[in-house]
Chain A
């Protein structure tokens, strides 16, 4: 039987709309150091680093060549994934479960303000059939919104209500942007970006960085001073077809597959067993679709952090969700703490119209669930 995996340290850069005080290297170093201090271990005790970062958004090719060291990877085994920060977390988890590694730093960052993020998304369209038409994330998300509205019965009014709720929760999050609340009325009257997607349906982008330290049971046994924040009990990820036809958009296959995989590993069958579910929702339509696809009935469990209305550093928003989910079961979520949270889930999505999805499930360590 492979070994248990624990989250022992979290570092989160304060949410910022445009972080010009620190260059990327400084931002990541500060966050990684914060995670190590949270874990109460030294960098030398790490045996590997997993990075989740996007070169196009970083503005330099193979950015890990510069960023590995400030993320804690100097002369350590280092690997990088470019799907999402949450994917990096899952890879680090799998590496420890393999028995080959004992202590990992997972680092992800994104200065969304650095360049024209929409232009980066347009680059992701293939150059023959999609890019010449101007296909981008906004259009893809609009197509997704139309598809799930029909398939799952989601209305413009529901989306506006959900966003107002999340936006209010976000104002309480000490790690959030503290943006003004978006009211449902304002959202419903906001202009279309691409029908049926309105300006008010999309959270603002922010700059951010997050580091999480994971370790094995053996590492914990050898370092009794380390107090784990959470145990990871399940992870799942899946990627659907690149196509954007109705079947792909309506089915949400990759989201359902990632969710089922993580839930199965965690030995949970119902969403009601989770006290907290931090969803990555690039638009309000996504949240409404995910609660249906995952069978989430208790709205109090949905994104108590405020989700992307607290902070939305594009590429690492899902890993920020993981940090929030870990803090919840550790009882360290501050003003957005859900009382007696014992189990939490973090969700992330990536690609056009949520082509890829990632889910991780955490449990309180002392609960003995």
Chain B
């Protein structure tokens, strides 16, 4: 160890850096967001592997070819994984809120969004209701604006 006189004061200098980024949606996310404005959920498809991607990808992870087609996802799907976020969350919703990755009908991958309409008073019971394997359907907001938060999931039954 280095033997130096201890002159440290423990003082800190605080600084806050604010940066704004403009993220280009690009071809694929752009078409997806346009679809949301029309209350459609669009997925990309790779004709070589046959895989469909949501969120849409420009390329196929398996074939490493460009995704060369679009398909409209079903409005129902199956929860793949889920959680009720209780603390420290800074999304569009205030905690507690439910979130899930859902594989929509006809699609090979899962997309995340909030799950609405679940009573979160009892977390254990709520988790059973949004457990993997349960079905949900897509519900759009009244005036979509081309953002992922234009829709959420609600339990089918």
The interface of chain A, by Cβ under 8 A from chain B, is 20-22, 30, 33-34, 59, 118-119, 122, 127-130, 132-136, 138-139, 142-143, 146-147, 150, 191-197, 199, 241, 243-246, 249
Check: B90 CB closer than 8 A to any chain A CB. Answer: yes
CB nearest neighbor in B for A29: B2
**Interface-side segment among B42-50, B65-73, B109-117, B136-144:** B109-117
Q: State the interface size on chain B (CB cutoff 8 A).
A: 47
A143 with B23: CB separation less than 8 A:
no
Question: In whole angstroms, how far apart are the Cα atoms of A143 and B127 in the complex?
Answer: 12
The interface of chain B, by Cβ under 8 A from chain A, is 1-2, 6, 8, 10-12, 15, 17, 21, 23, 25, 29, 32-33, 55, 61, 80-93, 99, 101, 103, 109-114, 123, 126-127, 132, 147-149
Check A129/B111 contact, CB under 8 A, given A21-B10, A34-B2: yes
- Within the complex, which residue of B91, B110, B132 is in contact with A150, where a contact is CB–CB below 8 Å? B132
Check A133/B123 contact, CB under 8 A, given A22-B8, A192-B86: no
Q: What would be 12 A-B contacts, judged by CB atoms less than 8 Å apart?
A: A119-B90, A128-B29, A132-B92, A132-B148, A133-B99, A133-B148, A133-B149, A139-B89, A139-B99, A195-B86, A241-B61, A245-B109
CB nearest neighbor in B for A246: B80
The interface residues of chain B lying within 8 Å CB-to-CB of A119 are 90
CB nearest neighbor in B for A198: B86
- Within the complex, which residue of A21, A128, A142 is in contact with B8, where a contact is CB–CB below 8 Å? A21
CB nearest neighbor in A for B22: A127
Nearest 3 CB-CB pairings of A with B: A134-B91, A21-B8, A245-B110
Check A139/B10 contact, CB under 8 A, given A33-B2, A129-B111, A134-B92: no
Question: In whole angstroms, how far apart are the Cα atoms of A193 and B90 in the complex?
Answer: 13
Check A129/B12 contact, CB under 8 A, given A143-B81, A245-B81: no
B110 with A246: CB separation less than 8 A:
yes
Check A246/B101 contact, CB under 8 A, given A127-B21, A195-B84: yes
B82 with A146: CB separation less than 8 A:
yes
The interface residues of chain B lying within 8 Å CB-to-CB of A135 are 91, 99, 112
Question: In whole angstroms, how far apart are the Cα atoms of A24 and B113 in the complex?
Answer: 39
B112 with A146: CB separation less than 8 A:
no
**17 new A-B pairs (CB below 8 Å) besides A129-B112, A138-B89, A195-B127?**
A34-B1, A59-B15, A118-B90, A122-B90, A128-B25, A128-B29, A128-B33, A129-B111, A132-B91, A134-B89, A135-B112, A143-B83, A146-B81, A146-B82, A197-B83, A244-B110, A246-B132
